Amino acid sequence: MSDTTKTLCPYCGVGCGLEASPPAQPGKSINRDSIGTPIWKVMGDKAHPSSQGMVCVKGATISESLYKDRLMYPMVRDNLDQPFKRATWEEAYTRIVDRIETVLDTHGAEGICMYGSGQFQTEDYYAAQKLLKGCLGTNNFDANSRLCMSSAVSGYIQSFGADGPPCCYDDIEKTDFAFLIGTNTAECHPIIFNRLRKHHKKHDRVKMVVVDPRRTATAEAADIHLAITPGTDIDLLNGIAYLLLRAGKIDQQFIESCTSNFPAFTEVVQHYPPEIVASKCGISQADLEQTAKWWSTSQNILSFWSMGVNQSSEGTAKVRHIINLHLMTGQIGRPGAGPFSLTGQPNAMGGREAGGLAHILPGYRLVKNPAQRAEIEKLWNLPEGRIAPTSGKTAWEMITGLETGSVGLLWIAATNPAVSMPDLERTKAALLRSPFTIHQDAYYPTETAKYAHVLLPASQWSEKTGVMTNSERTITLCPAFRMPPGEAKADWEIFAEVGRRLGFKEQFWFQTSADVYAEFTKLSAGRPCDVTGLSHQFLKDNGPTQWPHPTGCKTQYGKRLYTDLQFNHPDKRAKFAACHSKGLAEPPDPDYPFVLTTGRLYGHWHTMSRTGRIPKIQQMHPDPFIEIHPRDAARLQIENGEMVEIRSRRGTGRFPALITAAINRGTVFVPMHWGELWAKDAEANLFTHDAACPDSLQPELKACAVQLVPV
Ligand code: SF4
């Protein structure tokens, strides 16, 4: 019998299947007090429907990250000037429960906040938000998906009436035209890009357009690279719509039968003729017209986007204007066609299903909907009115809540806000003011641990059992196959134990993660993401399965959403957005003449808690850098490799220059991965600001105004 375990890569939202085999020397197997054990072998799972055996360097090296700098035991201190001292779980739980009860007295439930993560398994998300939203009565549970995907969530909800990417990965091989905007798929979602590039190379008829101010590896592979000026995405999208309308290349029947608000949209679009759009976007009119031509002549069109669209002060509007192009051409609900958001975190999708943001409840319900709150209260056996009727604090509002004193306890789990939040100096100053911070993580040290009063050791991938949902809605069971180090526990176990100690024994009846998942699946009944037909046992027996998967569903329910062209708004129609472009929240000006944009590199993952500890990846990307166009560098007399000081209105940092024509003039790029643990004064978020999309409340991490000074 094979001792290989099938599981899922815990890095990005592509969600590649992995097979893990035990080390060759079984005699040296796991000792919970020593994590220096032999390394498990990890390979792509050829049978996984989403990835078919492919993996990138992150998935291939994941097991190397399991043995270094692990947080083994609870640690506590009374104030941030003291060193941590080891504590028992009993001491840590007592401290946390006492403090929650104190904050309930002094601040009320709204003084308690939890900031979670797309690294959570669905069971962790479910237990965490049940503790906050149900038991404590505050919706102050948000996740780092707020910084990543919340504009896609609000865009889908506003256009279709419900969240949920409508496409699947098999659409890649069925498309004739791939339109990629605000996504460096080659580096950030490499296995999806491999499939797309192969399909594109194989068929002359298949065209690819990439929209990005940088000539990324993704843009290199495109037929047309539209290197737009940052902040002009909606101009471009409306400009394409203008050309489609002018040529009469729209699907009138689909528009009339399946959509609403088209007249308002056309009213807006008439202000975007190609000569104005091309000039504003900084692209050639010929490229714009060719792109519109491919939109009008291709049989099946697939558009992809990720953080370049979402991390914007008009992120929701951008998402909706991508969807507009699909609605006006009827490019949705069939193979090879549709708008497809590429999720950042491995289980941000599962979090959206389980109620893992401050404005939602499990099963794609909304906290502001009284009937949906009442349903959940009943299912949780809690008194009517227990769930607060308004959205809780978002990730950034937790930081500003620390500034104003309205937050009395901040619980941070599986995320590293001391690197990833905008306006980092302000974030750090706010974290210093926190009366009580719990940091629950697999690693120590991290940048955020510096601001914690209690550290809780969390088990992670390979050490706990749970499910994750990838970008195409495929759910995979990720079983435990190694012991966690030291006294680390699964996140859901920690939340459940705190819930029981606060008096919610009935609500936290779970003995296993399979129990947690079983309760969650019940809550999904009749919802768009119905998974009542799933359980840990089902996933073990049948392998990865796409949602929806209601009870009694024997086979794949359907790879795509909206194949019946019935959308989730009450009138069953998809709704056109009609917005003008507003541009950047902080455009360049004479004092701060450059637009700084941020992004990811192929090998590193987010704030490097794992990948910073893997030698192969460290060698691949040893240092941060700033990309500058040669003409900008020449004007400022900056040589390649010289240190450059970047200044924004909020912070200053120093980066070595990488002079390259791959970046637009007037725009500079820095990678977002490095925190102070790995490089001094080279944090991308020293410069970024907190202006956010008014609908998704996702901050504009992709653009801010800076000045450059040679050092
Ligand atoms: Fe993991 Fe994403 Fe790489 Fe796949 S593409 S192996 S999910 S990091």
d(CA 375, CA 11): 34
Ligand 1 atom nearest 60 alpha carbon: 6
* Whole-prediction pTM: 0.96
User: Residue 621 carries which DSSP code?
Assistant: S
**How far away, in angstroms, is 169 Cα from ligand 1 center?**
14
Residue-level pLDDT at 37 = 61
Ligand 1, atom 3, lies closest to the CA of: 56
Q: How confident is the model at residue 27 (pLDDT cuts 50, 70, 90)?
A: very low
- DSSP letters, 393-406, are --HHHHHHHHHHT-
> ipTM above 0.90?
yes
- Alpha-carbon distance 604 to 611, whole Å? 6
Q: Which atom of ligand 1 has the smallest separation from the CA of 57?
A: 3
Contact 690, 142 (CB under 8 A): no
pLDDT of 673 over the 80 cut: yes
Distance 18 CA to ligand 1 centre (A): 10
Q: In the sheet where 17-21 sits, what is the strand order?
A: 5-8, 17-21, 41-44
Closest ligand 1 atom, residue 192 Cα:
5
Asked if residue 12 has its Cβ within 6 Å of ligand 1, the reply is: yes
Spatial separation of the C-alpha atoms in residues 356 and 492, rounded to whole Å: 13
Residues forming a β-bridge with 220: none
Question: What whole-number distance in Å separates Cα of residue 693 and Cα of residue 674?
Answer: 25
Ligand 1 pocket, 191 CB below 6 A?
A: yes
Ligand 1 centroid to Cα of residue 59, in Å, is 5
Q: What are phi and psi of 576, to 5 degrees?
A: -70, 140
Across residues 260-267, what is the average pLDDT?
98
User: Does ligand 1 come within 6 angstroms of the Cβ of 277?
Assistant: no
Asked whether 11 lines ligand 1 (CB < 6 A), one says yes
Has residue 363 got a pLDDT over 80?
yes
Task: For residue 16, report the distance from its CA to the centre of ligand 1, in Å.
Answer: 5
How far is the centre of ligand 1, averaged over its atoms, from the C-alpha of 617 (Å)?
Answer: 14
User: In this structure, which CATH number among 3.50.70.10, 3.40.50.970, 3.40.800.20, 3.40.50.740 belongs to the domain 1-143+345-510?
Assistant: 3.40.50.740
Using CA atoms, how far apart are residues 358 and 146, in angstroms rounded to an integer? 9
> φ and ψ at 116, to 5 degrees?
-105, -155
Pocket of ligand 1, candidates 58, 189, 304, 610: which has the most ligand atoms within 8 Å of its Cβ, to mutate? 58
Q: Whose CA is nearest to atom 2 of ligand 1?
A: 12
Q: Model confidence at 3, in pLDDT bands (50, 70, 90)?
A: confident
Among 310, 93, 296, 69, smallest CA distance to 188 is for 310
Q: What percent of the chain has pLDDT over 70?
A: 97
> 657, 644 in Cβ contact below 8 A?
yes
**Per-residue confidence (pLDDT) for residue 40, from 0 to 100:** 87
Q: Is 13 in the pocket of ligand 1 (CB under 6 A)?
A: no
Instruction: List the domain boundaries for the chain.
Output: 1-143+345-510, 150-341, 594-710
Reported as a pLDDT band with limits 50, 70 and 90, residue 34 is: low
Grade residue 555 by pLDDT with cuts at 50, 70 and 90: low
Mean pLDDT, residues 40-54: 92
Q: Supply the DSSP symbol for 31.
A: B
Choosing from 18, 19, 56 the residue with most ligand 1 atoms within 8 A of its CB, the one to mutate for a pocket test is 56
DSSP state letters, 151-201: HHHHHHHHHHSS------GGGGGG-SEEEEES--HHHHSHHHHHHHHHHHH
Structural tokens at position 447: 């940048």
Q: Which of 480, 535, 609 is nearest to 11 (CA)?
A: 609
**Which H, E and C letters describe 635-670, residue by residue?**
HCCCCCCCEEEEECCCCEEEEEEEECCCECCCEEEE
| pLDDT confidence band for 592 (50 / 70 / 90) | very high
Contact criterion met (CB below 8 Å) for 40 and 63: yes
50 falls in which pLDDT band (50, 70, 90)?
confident
Which residue matches tokens 């019935």? 566
Instruction: CATH number for 150-341: choose from 1.10.10.10, 3.40.50.880, 3.40.228.10, 3.40.50.850.
Output: 3.40.228.10
Give the count of alpha carbons within 13 A of 647, CB side only. Answer: 10
pLDDT over 50 (residue 1): no
**pLDDT digits over 616-655, tens only?**
999 999 999 999 999 999 999 999 999 999 999 999 999 9
Please tell me the predicted confidence (pLDDT) of residue 25: 63
Is 477 touching ligand 1 by the criterion CB < 6 Å? no
State whether the beta carbon of 148 lies less than 6 angstroms from ligand 1: no
Does 14 contact ligand 1 (Cβ within 6 A)? Answer: yes
Q: Answer whether 42 contacts ligand 1 (Cβ < 6 A).
A: no
Q: Is the distance from the beta carbon of residue 342 to the nearest atom of ligand 1 less than 6 Å?
A: no
Q: Is the CB of 195 under 6 A from ligand 1?
A: no
Nearest to 695 by CA among 406, 232, 361, 313: 313
Q: Is the pLDDT at 9 greater than 70, yes or no?
A: yes
Expressed in angstroms and rounded, the spacing between residue 11 Cα and the centre of ligand 1 is: 6
Residue 2: predicted pLDDT:
63
Residue 554 has pLDDT above 70, yes or no: no
Q: Please report the atom of ligand 1 found closest to the CA of residue 18.
A: 6
pLDDT(30) > 50 = no
Residue minimizing CA distance to atom 4 of ligand 1: 16
Centroid of ligand 1 to alpha carbon of 54 (angstroms): 8
DSSP secondary structure letters along 224-259: EEE-PPTT-HHHHHHHHHHHHHHTT-S-HHHHHHHE
What CATH number does domain 594-710 carry, 3.40.50.300, 2.60.40.1180, 3.30.70.980, 2.40.40.20? Answer: 2.40.40.20
At residue 126, φ and ψ (nearest 5 deg) are -60, -45
Return all residues near 350 (Cβ < 8 A) that are at least 6 apart. 120, 121, 122, 125, 356, 467, 468, 469, 475
Q: Which atom of ligand 1 is nearest to the CA of 9?
A: 1
